[in-house]
Structure 1
Amino acid sequence: MEEFDTSYLAWILYKLFYGIDKEIAKNKERSYVEIDFGNKIINMSGDTDYNFGPGWSHSIRKKYENYLEKVPSEYEDLYNTQLSRCVKLYKSVLNISFMPQTGNLQSAKKGIGNDRLDTFIWALNSYYIDETSLLFNNSTFNNTSYLKEYLDLFKTEHKEETIYNYCYKIYGIESHELVDELIMHGKEAIDSPEKVIAFMNRAYRFWCQKLVYIKKRMECNIDILTDNEQTIILQSVEDAENELNKWFET
């Protein structure tokens, strides 16, 4: 079965979000589009930003559910409700983004921090400020040069600001403060109910930012979509926003 981040709906979102309208191809792994830059072609596919799914080899959702046993009784309903919201928003247009298939960056994101977006952004920033090269752990030798050239497209005059450029162009995050928080917490373990709650609230802020950006794209770029695609994306955005608006309800 096609994964949500490369579903028909996902490709409509990517077309709107990134302004890219290219033929979708598929290999034995996933669907993708070919993007030309310089003298190279890189395959771009989809990725789930925050993983609150049943998990792959290590169930991420189950890990957070297990902390319910340690949550003080007065916070148990809130914890369980917010986790349920995260699970519902896990497969929504607010929680998927473009990511290179060439260079296997998705597997690097999974391996570095158990598919945590904040840990991925921390590792990405570490690369940009010349501290680590963790992002290339799952890339073949030949594909590493392609991946580096892609990542270097986002470089700015001041390397410490490159991460903000990446997060804006790929995730629609305009808040430098939120990016700084994701970097800061991305290197920390999530090993308590309190840290799970903080993690979920940062996911909520991320989704709110992304919703604002998607709405901006709908205002100025909706004509790139067919009438049927417009109907699908409008309904999907409305559904996600309705779920997001319930965040503080118990």
Structure 2
Amino acid sequence: MSRPLTEFKSDRDNDVKDLYEKIYPNISISGIRRIMTIVLGDSKKTFVVNGDQCINLKLGNAYDGIGSIINLNKLSEDSVKKIEELNLLIDYYSHTILNYSILPVTGGLNNIKWRLGSDRIDTFIFVLDQYYKNINRAIILNSGSSNGDVGTRKKLESFLSSFGSVEEFVSFIYRLDPDDSKKFIKDSLGSGSEPILDIKGLCQYMELAVDFWELRLESMQKSGVLRLKSGKEKVEKDFELLRDSIKKFTISKN
């Protein structure tokens, strides 16, 4: 598979932080530790942020709750091998700028994404949608820290209030056009409320990952953050290869 994009070890590498400065307005990096802060909202409040890996496929364990990923121990040897092959294809793009965003350290929203949905982006968006529609605000506000203290809740509420809806949140945090945000939210809500318990669910999540990276590629090309030229064609071919491999695997298991 081609390697048209820089591959990073972590969403918090210094080189990645330099890219965050280009991607996000009103973000600053300071000090030896290169701490990132961002100014948001009409109130111009400042929040400490850090990098986050948007799509994080974890295979091999079963997790409690709606974020569950299938347990490979319950699958055939052939299925496990094929899943691992697909995951190798996905792993590269998981460590590029297409898969990195920021989330606030203030209020622990990065912890919430991990705790409530095993780091699944679709489950994270489902929970955020519940919050902004006032269907269930407690699930987020009570999960931002290990002890759920009032101070942490207030900081988290302050950050979330910088956005008027889940559409605004997704558009800003993931740097997607408004129409693309709505499409991705719709797709995420369709799967984010359910655990991944079988091959079909896992393949759907892999397809969602490719869709997400494709949307971010277009957005970053438009904004000038990425200037791939001929490299864009290589990325698009990789995405086509991924989709074809996922589709074939899904069909073989039906």
Shift of the alpha carbon at 1:40?
3.9
The answer to whether the aligner puts 1:34 opposite 2:40 as a matched pair is no
Q: 2:241 — aligned with what?
A: 246
Change in CA separation of 1:111 and 1:21 when aligned onto 2, cut-off 3 Å: closer
Q: 1:164 — aligned with what?
A: 167
Q: 1:123 — aligned with what?
A: 127
1:138-149 pair list within 5 angstroms:
138-139=144-145, 140-149=149-158
1:95-134 pair list within 5 angstroms:
95-132=99-136, 133-134=138-139
Structure 1 or 2: larger helix share? 1
Shift of the alpha carbon at 1:178?
2.4
Aligned equivalents of 2:220, 2:57: Cα separation in 1: 21
Q: 1:226 — aligned with what?
A: none
Decide which of 16, 22, 33 is 1:16's aligned counterpart: 22
Aligned equivalents of 1:166, 1:18: Cα separation in 2: 13
SS at match of 1:4: coil
SS at match of 2:242: coil
Residue ranges of structure 1 left out of the alignment (5+ in a row): 156-161, 223-229
Normalising by structure 1, we get a TM-score of 0.74
Aligned equivalents of 2:32, 2:117: Cα separation in 1: 27
Normalising by structure 2, we get a TM-score of 0.73
Identity %: 21
Deviates more, 1:118-127 or 1:165-174: 165-174
Aligned equivalents of 1:91, 1:53: Cα separation in 2: 14
Aligned equivalents of 1:110, 1:54: Cα separation in 2: 15
Q: Which amino acid in 2 is paired with 1:129?
A: K
Shift of the alpha carbon at 1:121?
0.4
What is the number of equivalent residue pairs in this alignment? Answer: 222
1:71/1:193 contact within 8 Å kept: no
Aligned equivalents of 2:207, 2:74: Cα separation in 1: 16
User: Alpha carbon RMSD of aligned pairs, Å?
Assistant: 3.4
Aligned equivalents of 1:178, 1:46: Cα separation in 2: 21
Aligned equivalents of 1:14, 1:80: Cα separation in 2: 30
Provide, for residues 165-204 of structure 1, a one-character-per-residue CA deviation record: whole Å limited to 9, x for no partner: 2111111333223211202211101000110001100111
Q: 1:181 — aligned with what?
A: 187
